[in-house]
Amino acid sequence: MQRIGVFVCHCGTNIAATVDVKAVAEALGHEPGVVISQDYQYMCSESGQNLVKDAIKEHNLSGIVICSCSPRMHENTFRKAAAAAGLNPYLVEIANIREQCSWIHRDIATATEKAIILGKAAVAKVHLNTPLTSMESPVVKRALVIGGGIAGIQTALDIAEAGFDVDIVEKEATIGGKMAQIDKTFPTLDCAACILTPKMVEASQNEKIHIYAFSEVEAVKGFVGNFTVKIKRKARYVDEVKCTGCGACIEKCPMKKVPNEFNMGLDNRHAVYIPFAQAVPKIATIDPNYCMMLKNGKCGLCSKVCAAGAIDYKQQDSFIEEKYGAIVVATGFNPIKLDKYDEFSYNTCPDVVTSLELERLMNAAGPNGGTLLRPSDKSHPHTIVFVQCVGSRCSDEKGKPYCSKICCMYTAKHAMLIRDKYPDTEVYVFYIDVRTPGKNFDEFYRRAVEQYNVHYIKGMVGKVTPKSDGKIDVQASDLLSNEQLHIDADMVVLAAAIEPDKTARPLATMLTTQMDTNDFFTEAHPKLRPVESATAGIFLSGACQGPKDIPETVAQGSAAAAKAIGLLCKNSITCNPCVAHSDELMCNGCSSCEKVRPYGAITYSDKEFRMPDRTIAVRRVASVNPAVCQGCGACTVACPSGAMDLSGFSNSQIMAEVDAICK
């Protein structure tokens, strides 16, 4: 006979304000097998847990039901408490009467009724619970960092520092990411390249770090501690080992009219290129879309001048497979495309640029060698208008609903740098709010206004119109003086919203991690587990999780590394014992389960069976590898005969829950 204990949590007023917890405890006390039913203010507190532990011992309980918050929150807490009191942790069931009940209902009567029903379902289930034992699975002591921007570099360096091997997969020809394109950094105005490139070199020289540049993650299999990742090494048409990065091929390449991505298309590069002088790895890459040799077999100059003999026009994409214990996602961000913002004339006027383009225009390695000139006529701009929140905090579908967070600060930086270098230039900044939370941030912004006399105007720009005399008419409203303004500008700079890189979504699918509606990766807990994804073994670093500036990105990169190191330090991890198993006597061997399995845990073999008529029959039957199975349960619903079942969530347990709810 089962001896079940029911414990109803008030969660302060979180549950008790909407659910009559005493009535729930009373009603569940009458369920079959329930020998004790109690309520308590905070069941997860130490005294609450002691209540549970004492009851287990005192009443010799065979199973417990906790009516509380989501099992994601405290299931582990109560499993541990049960284990401490000598009860198998898998004899604990959680009835979620907070997220799925008190928080979503207002009426006490209905919420109480529902809480009782949820409790009854949990009691019905716990009747059928069986003790389960966890197995151990080894941890591969190697980490993968996806994305080689400052986030990925920082994470990789920290993991390597702890003594673990770490691979960086970067889709571009060099690591460095967005930070490499930035001119100066706020709030200290130090040169981005000066602080980034030493880290890039450090990463490339660290013997624990292996950089797969110009590569992409193609497929991910496995689970925490034991991922198998297929990496596509895109063809560079240059032998990475032989190439010395001397640049002779680039000098000779006759195809000089290729838009230079690194300079945001503001100047041209050759068909064979190294993105920038400090690229890591410093290896040339041939662009097959422009290389005449690759397109029509005519040219071959680079091959002739290459002293190292590194040019290989026949190179193909290659694939490598590597095992990892932990994966850190650091896929970063991009500014949004502005083609939907006709009002700002971005597509029609070359002197309307994005902030990232301005970074390149002002950079010493940029198209103008660091002199700020108008892209249209290379003249010195005397009036520059900055437009904030282009696509950020946007209520319609053109933009993003969120604040891109970094724009206020980099615009203050741009304004200040321009006023410092070109005091004859008037700078206007149109803003909705100026958001400067961060160490030394508001002081920085105040300096722009007070010391550098940047004209900050609260209000949005309505229309940007190029005029025939080369000037740009900026029509805007000043909300504080309630005036309509027309400014004759020479340049307009748009602070485009930032969005996650497009590769993030397919990657999330491969990693089975969650994303929010904006395609930012979702952290396991917004406050308490900010660098872990909800999928064990997958960590988040940098702007792939949400808009971030460099200091925050670096901090999060290190945090993600700390979490990954914590995992890699372990020799083995405890597996989830709630895995599938096949009843071979019932299995038809039909392969339905194999076709729905996401983790590849099911295999088939021919086995001899003694049949009811005493003959021996050879039958094809499924078996589950419990170390690989993640307990998703897809196979149990695909199985036509019911041979496949999931420990801890068996078909009979689910049916018992449904029955209890429908009764």
Partner 1 sequence: MQEAMINRAKELMADGTVSRVIGWKRGEFAYDITPAVFETAEEIDSDFVCDDFTAANVSKYLIKESRKEGRILAFLKPCDTYSFNQLIKEHRIIRENVYVIGIPGGPKLDAEKLKARGITGILGVRNEKGTLHIDTVYGEETMPMFEAILGKCENCKSTKHVVYDELMGEEGEVIADSGRFDRVAELENMTAQQRFEFWREQLSKCIRCNACRNVCPACSCENCVFDNPDSGISNKAAADSFEENNFHIIRAFHVAGRCTDCGECSRVCPQNIPLHLLNRKFIKDINELYGEYQAGEDTTSRAPLTNYNADEDCEPSIVHERGAE
Binding site for partner 1 (CB under 8 A): 219, 506, 508-510, 512, 585-592, 595-598, 604, 617-620, 634, 638, 640-643, 651-652, 655
Nearer to partner 1, 56 or 124 (CB): 124
Q: How far is the CB of 369 from partner 1 (least distance, A)?
A: 45
Nearer to partner 1, 1 or 618 (CB): 618
Query: Where in 1-104 does DSSP place strands (E)?
Result: 4-9, 34-40, 63-68, 92-96
Burial class (CB in 10 A: 0-12, 13-18, 19+), 20: buried
Q: How far is the CB of 74 from partner 1 (least distance, A)?
A: 25
Sequence letter at residue 101: C
Q: How far is the CB of 539 from partner 1 (least distance, A)?
A: 19
Number of neighbouring beta carbons within 10 Å of residue 441:
19
The rounded distance, in Å, linking the Cα atoms of 526 and 532 is 10
Place of tokens 């929150």: 73
Contact residues for 505 (Cβ-Cβ < 8 A; gap 6+): 515, 519
The rounded distance, in Å, linking the Cα atoms of 6 and 36 is 6
Q: How far is the CB of 518 from partner 1 (least distance, A)?
A: 15
DSSP state of 207: T
Q: How far is the CB of 591 from partner 1 (least distance, A)?
A: 6
Nearer to partner 1, 189 or 617 (CB): 617
Q: How far is the CB of 224 from partner 1 (least distance, A)?
A: 17
The rounded distance, in Å, linking the Cα atoms of 298 and 294 is 8
Q: How far is the CB of 233 from partner 1 (least distance, A)?
A: 21
Q: How far is the CB of 138 from partner 1 (least distance, A)?
A: 24
Query: C-alpha angle with apex 292: 288 to 297, nearest 5 degrees?
Result: 100
Nearer to partner 1, 305 or 590 (CB): 590
Nearer to partner 1, 50 or 652 (CB): 652
- Contact 180/335 with Cβ under 8 angstroms? no
Contact residues for 312 (Cβ-Cβ < 8 A; gap 6+): 237, 238, 239
3-state secondary structure of 262: helix
For β-strands 616-624 and 602-610, DSSP reports them as antiparallel
Nearer to partner 1, 124 or 554 (CB): 124
Q: How far is the CB of 595 from partner 1 (least distance, A)?
A: 5
Burial 449-458 (b: 16+ CB within 10 A, else e): beebebebbe
3-state secondary structure of 442: helix
Nearer to partner 1, 95 or 634 (CB): 634
Contact residues for 555 (Cβ-Cβ < 8 A; gap 6+): none
Nearer to partner 1, 364 or 586 (CB): 586
Place of tokens 């949004």: 336
The rounded distance, in Å, linking the Cα atoms of 276 and 135 is 50
Sequence letter at residue 76: N
Q: How far is the CB of 67 from partner 1 (least distance, A)?
A: 26
The rounded distance, in Å, linking the Cα atoms of 134 and 517 is 35
Nearer to partner 1, 407 or 508 (CB): 508
Number of residues written out for the chain = 663
Nearer to partner 1, 482 or 517 (CB): 517
Burial 235-271 (b: 16+ CB within 10 A, else e): bbbbebeebebbebbbebbebeebebebbbebeebbb
